[in-house]
Chains A and B, each alone.
Chain A
């Protein structure tokens, strides 16, 4: 689906493959996460000091969240949950620095939600056996089988579009606001000095990028945990 006008710009081509902003900004986020991880795990001490304390706090929060939502025996999921949370969170917040969030691209959000979908199915089959798992689709009455299947398939769609819709809404509204403020100052002064663009959008940036971005990354991670642990029980 090409979202012309509001879609990600094509930065350069590798051969005939177009590379969009989504991909390059994802590389940037990967780099940031990589450097942070290397710095955070260097010189670990038994008695943590300043920086190590912060890192341990992050790990603690993620471990606690996983245990509370997926149960004690599924605490091995914490690395995956943490990766999702950190990647989506950083992707959403990067709009603050003037980049286009990778999550404002349907390709990113749908691949994340399909990952969750595949995990849900695989671990559902693994823990209940193929028979037990497929029997779940015949409940509460066998008549509902087609509906249960459609309902199961609708989960990744709504999961992916929930994230995409929220983030792209922010991107579109901010783009239009900057355009409107630019033309407003120009007609006000007759000069192209966009002084209004400096302060006015800050409030909306805090709402759309910081608040909605962090909230949506949390919601995506929570729903992933609920879906996966739900399929395993």
Chain B
């Protein structure tokens, strides 16, 4: 027993591998993490499909319109899954970190962090799926209002995507414009900052679900009172902006960790 400290022994064990092998294996882990986001669209689209079936059972004549709205909404809910897939594919096929000269541990942490960040995609997936379901339900009840309902649903869904897009921004920053790699500092802090920035973005799950709920209720409300569409949409957007708050906190913390890390100066 040369060292009883498990973490120290783990790092010593890591250092027995080549740097390139370490970065590649970290990319594999990151790609796996990114795909966890798939939980969200799965749940959301399932909900939308359920609402679609319900709408058709209630009124068979609306089948075509209900299915159209369901597919449209479900396709939007797929976005965060596709973005996660893209980050995973970049990590596997076009990894920019492999060619960068820099501290191996920091590069490893960046690859894993970029993957973890994408987990946030779960939220928008669930939320947008809920909105798609509510939109389908509303169109099933009053197919005449299809265009108004779909418009409110799409705007709400687009806003619900925001936290997933923040996660993508952080993820791409860590892969392509990582400021931590060139920094001087204790390597363990740099490494932990990259992981921390990724972890912070997971908060995006919350705003994604919440804003999706707002979008769904907005679509439902427009389906009941199309006259007040402007007011409904405005109230929905205001509430969604407030629901975005914690996601913006997460983005700020992640950006601070990457660009203006106070921990390095301590």
The reply to whether the CB of A30 lies closer than 8 angstroms to some CB of chain B is no
Q: What does the 1/0 interface line of A150-176 toward B look like (CB < 8 Å)? A: 110010011001100110110011001
The reply to whether A166 and B251 contact each other, CB–CB distance below 8 Å, is no
B-binding residues in A (CB < 8 A): 1-6, 68-69, 71, 147, 150-151, 154, 157-158, 161-162, 165-166, 168-169, 172-173, 176, 207, 211-212, 215, 218-219, 222-223, 226, 230, 233
Name B172-206 residues within 8 Å CB distance of A.
172-173, 176-177
- Whole-angstrom distance between the alpha carbons of A222 and B153 in the complex? 11
Give the secondary structure class of B's interface: helix
B172 contact from A1, A150, A151, A215, Cβ within 8 A: A1
Give the secondary structure class of A's interface: helix
Known interface pairs A71-B230, A162-B158, A223-B155; A169-B169 also in contact (CB < 8 Å): no
The reply to whether A169 and B83 contact each other, CB–CB distance below 8 Å, is yes
A226: chain B residues at CB < 8 Å are: 155, 233, 237
Give 6 CB contacts A-B under 8 Å.
Answer: A1-B172, A4-B94, A154-B251, A165-B165, A212-B75, A230-B237
The reply to whether the CB of B245 lies closer than 8 angstroms to some CB of chain A is yes
In addition to A154-B248, A157-B166, A173-B85, 12 A-B residue pairs with Cβ atoms within 8 Å of each other are: A1-B176, A5-B94, A154-B244, A157-B165, A162-B165, A165-B83, A169-B82, A176-B89, A219-B155, A223-B155, A226-B237, A230-B237
B234: chain A residues at CB < 8 Å are: 230, 233
Known interface pairs A6-B90, A223-B158; A151-B244 also in contact (CB < 8 Å): yes
A219: chain B residues at CB < 8 Å are: 154-155, 158
B155: chain A residues at CB < 8 Å are: 219, 222-223, 226
The reply to whether A158 and B162 contact each other, CB–CB distance below 8 Å, is yes
A218: chain B residues at CB < 8 Å are: 154
How far apart are A222's CB and chain B's nearest CB, in angstroms? 5
The reply to whether the CB of B96 lies closer than 8 angstroms to some CB of chain A is yes
Residue of B nearest to A163 (CB): B165
- Whole-angstrom distance between the alpha carbons of A73 and B177 in the complex? 45
How far apart are A120's CB and chain B's nearest CB, in angstroms? 13
B161: chain A residues at CB < 8 Å are: 158, 162
The reply to whether A150 and B248 contact each other, CB–CB distance below 8 Å, is yes
Residue of A nearest to B96 (CB): A4
Residue of B nearest to A222 (CB): B155
Name B144-180 residues within 8 Å CB distance of A.
151, 154-155, 158-159, 161-162, 165-166, 168-169, 172-173, 176-177
The reply to whether B96 and A166 contact each other, CB–CB distance below 8 Å, is no
How far apart are A76's CB and chain B's nearest CB, in angstroms? 18
A6: chain B residues at CB < 8 Å are: 90, 94
The reply to whether the CB of B79 lies closer than 8 angstroms to some CB of chain A is yes
A172 contact from B76, B79, B86, B159, Cβ within 8 A: B86
The reply to whether A166 and B79 contact each other, CB–CB distance below 8 Å, is yes
The reply to whether A151 and B248 contact each other, CB–CB distance below 8 Å, is yes
The reply to whether the CB of B260 lies closer than 8 angstroms to some CB of chain A is no
- Whole-angstrom distance between the alpha carbons of A215 and B157 in the complex? 12
How far apart are A117's CB and chain B's nearest CB, in angstroms? 15
- Whole-angstrom distance between the alpha carbons of A226 and B233 in the complex? 9
